[in-house]
Every structure is written in structure tokens, then in C-alpha cells.
Amino acid sequence: MHSNLDARSANFNVLNVEAVSHSLDIPEGFEYDKSIHKLDGSTQIRVEVDIEKNILIVFVEIHMNCSIRSTGEEIGKLFYLKSRSRFFVEKLTEYISDKEELDVEINLLSELVQISMDHTRGMQSVYLKGSPLGKITMPRKDVAKLLQK
């Protein structure tokens, strides 16, 4: 079981990273102004494990919505991105305590999710470059909180 393992000693490789789907739907003439507009959104994480192939897959899905600060009027969903990062994890079964529930050791899972989030942020910056949202600094997400959901 993984209770005696140190996730920092886990050997893994990124097999591939891809944008599964995305959309950018900014109304014509829209110019983002922090004093007028409020951006909010959500991030969801989903993990799949292929024990036989020692592969762990992390899906990251982000939504960015916008509204008018003074009225709360919704402008709508401006941006959506779903990414997939596939990792080969040597001896993956040693980091799984419950084979039925596929309970992956939390430190290893946190590290792979953080890497996947960073992949997604990179994709996001490419998709938003040149748009009214291109210069917005996106907040970092607390991976521990995302994994609790």
C-alpha cells in the first residue's frame, strides 16, 4: 500500500497533453475593464487510471464567465477549455491503496494535477492571446481544494 511511499520518489513521464475542446465567445466590441466587469469561473478535475498500462490521465475543465459589477447582469461564458494530460507512472499500483475505488496516493495525485493545471494555463494563454482577455492574469488554483471536491 502507498502509506510508506514518498510521492517525490515516483518516476513518471508526461506521455501527451492536448486540448480536448475549447471555445472563445467574446461579444463583438467587448473590452474588459476590471472596474466594470467581474470575471468568475470554475475549474473541475477528473482523474482516470489504467492500472494495467500504468497510466494516469488528468482532465482539467475551466469555464470563465463575465458579468457587469454594478448590476450583476450576465454577459455570458467567454471562455471554456478542457484539457487532458496523460502520465506514465512507474509501478502505479504501489501508489493506489484501494483498487476498487482507485484511490491514488494524494501527494502523487496532487503533483500530477498541478502539472496538468499548468499545462492548461499554458493552453489558456495561447487561446486568449490577442483577445480582450489576453492580458488578464489568471489566479492559481489550490489543488488540495480541487481534489477534495
146 within some domain: no
Residue 40's region, left for phi above 0, alpha for psi from -120 to 50, else beta, is beta
d(CA 146, CA 128): 23
Confidence tier at 1 by pLDDT (50, 70, 90): very low
Look at the chain and report how many structural domains it folds into. 1
Q: φ, ψ for residue 140 (rounded to 5)? A: -80, 145
pLDDT surpassing 70 at residue 143: yes
147 within some domain: no
149 within some domain: no
Question: Coil, strand, or helix at residue 92?
Answer: helix
Antiparallel, parallel or unpaired: β 103-104 and 96-98: antiparallel
130 within some domain: yes
Q: Which three cell numbers stand for residue 1?
A: 500500500
Burial (CB count within 10 angstroms: exposed 0-12, middle 13-18, buried 19+), residue 98: exposed
Smallest CA-to-CA distance from 10 within 105, 119, 103, 113 is with: 105
Q: Can you give the residue range of the structural domain that contains 119?
A: 2-140
> Model-level pTM?
0.86
Here the CATH number for the domain that contains residue 100 is: 3.10.420.10
d(CA 83, CA 85): 7
Helix (H) or strand (E) holding 49: strand 37-50
pLDDT surpassing 80 at residue 48: yes
pLDDT at 9: 75
Q: What is the DSSP letter of 87?
A: E
47 within some domain: yes
110 within some domain: yes
Helix (H) or strand (E) holding 127: helix 106-128
pLDDT surpassing 90 at residue 137: no
pLDDT at 70: 94
35 within some domain: yes
pLDDT surpassing 90 at residue 147: no
129 within some domain: yes
